[in-house]
Structure 1
Amino acid sequence: MIGGMLQSGIINPRVLDLIARIRHTNTLVIADWAFPYWPEIETVDISLTRGVPTVLQVLDLLTPNFKIGRIWQAEEFLGKNPQETVNEFARSFGQIPLTREPHADFKKRVPGAIGLIRTGDTTAYGNIILESV
């Protein structure tokens, strides 16, 4: 190990600070580049450019250390994306229970989250809400 700095996994200090505050049944939003700003919750914006990073890149980095009990996603995701994209999300979700609901209902869940990580993702309706176990 070189010095005391993190060498792998999530190294963004604001993201680490946010996820460290999540407790049992709290939720975290991982959103795309165009997702609205929500003044009620903390937003950590890690978007670099359109497409970088993606929602799934963030999810895949969170999964080893974040016990996820449920994922919510807008049902419109299925009709707006090619099967290849749907399959990529399904691979990242694995066996975690998934609830798809109308986008309007999905957005009603956002203000109750501990925080929101904004990515550069451009996937239509690719936003997700994670609930900790």
Structure 2
Amino acid sequence: MKKIGCLNSELSYVLAKLGHFDTLTIGDCGLPVPKGVQRIDLAVTYGVPSFDDVFSVVDKEAKFQKATIAVEAKTQNPEFYAKIHSWAKANHIEIAEVPHDELKAQSAKSVAVVRTGECHPYCNVILESNVSF
């Protein structure tokens, strides 16, 4: 049995398979999952697990070069917006801001969409994988 890191087998497998430029979407419990994209549903109830809980584990397991968020987060969820920007700056990660409808369309290209129990608006990110060397 795995002792550390991501214990969810589906998420662990997807993270291990990420190649350069692959994308993974982490979303709140309301983000629709496009047909044909793998859904990793971690939501148990409202708020559990939180976006932050899931994001923290994913960030420790993989390296990213770009994060895409909805431009609406700036006014509708400023705490999330500030956290993502702070994380990106600290890790030299490019941030792209697109309208929420565009983010939903882009999520269709992700290898998987991870559904959290997060229930704050616009708490969604598309992470683009980088190489670790």
Q: TM-score, normalised by structure 1?
A: 0.87
Match among 11, 14, 39 for residue 15 of structure 1: 11
- Runs of 5+ in structure 2 lacking a partner? none
The residue identity in structure 1 corresponding to 2:35 is P
- Runs of 5+ in structure 1 lacking a partner? none
Shift of 1:88: 3.2
Larger Rg computed on CA atoms? 1
Tell me whether 67-76 or 103-112 shows the greater mean CA deviation.
103-112
Q: 1:36 to 1:117 in 2, by over 3 A?
A: same
CA–CA distance in structure 1, aligned partners of residues 108 and 84 of structure 2: 24
Q: Is contact 1:56–1:89 with CA below 8 Å preserved after alignment? A: no
Secondary structure class of the residue paired with 2:60: coil
Shift of 1:6: 1.6
Q: TM-score, normalised by structure 2?
A: 0.87
Identity among equivalent pairs (%): 27
Give the structure 1 partner of residue 107 of structure 2: 110
1:1-133 pair list within 5 angstroms: 5-82=1-78, 84-93=79-88, 94-95=90-91, 96-133=93-130
Number of equivalenced pairs: 128
Give the alignment's Cα RMSD to 1 decimal. 1.5
Secondary structure class of the residue paired with 1:17: helix
Shift of 1:39: 1.6
Secondary structure class of the residue paired with 1:64: helix
